[in-house]
Amino acid sequence: MAFDNNGNAYTYVKYRPSRRHAGSIVIFKGKIYAKSAKFRAIKQGIANGPGVQTQGMSYNPANNRLYLVSDGVITSVPVRKLGHLKNKDVRTTRFGTNLEFEGLAFTGSGTGYIMTIRGAQLFTIENF
């Protein structure tokens, strides 16, 4: 789950019709209140999600993008275009590694931190 600067919460699910298909993504946007939570599916998904295993989601306040994390693959989309994304808005980066990405977090200035396991490490990334 990820939270933007306006207190909106985001999460996603992946539909995988087979083990060979990375799967499509449905993103949900909502609010969490003291005694309840309300989410709705964004009416537009992503046909080919990152990687096979979903590992997490993050928000970068410096560029207002959501990041979907999988093992060795990260896809990002601009929050302001959710529901009317174009192909050029979706960015996917495949890293040449066998490391298992477990999470991604950003500072207010946009420095990213990728956490890996099995040889636990923390990497920083700039301008991502």
CATH classification of the domain holding 109: 2.120.10.30
β-bridge partners, 41: 28
- Total domains in the chain come to 1
- Residue 4: strand, helix, or coil: coil
Contact 48, 22 (CB under 8 A): yes
pLDDT tens digits in sequence order for the chain, 128 residues long: 999 999 999 999 887 766 666 678 899 999 999 999 999 999 998 887 777 778 889 999 999 999 999 878 899 999 999 999 999 999 998 888 877 888 899 999 999 999 988 778 888 887 66
Secondary structure (DSSP) of 8-56: -EEEEEEE-SSTTS--EEEEEEEEE-SS-EEEEE-S--BSS-SSSSEEE
Domain that holds residue 10: 2-125
Instruction: Give residue 57's identity as a one-letter amino acid code.
Output: M
**pTM assigned to the model:** 0.88
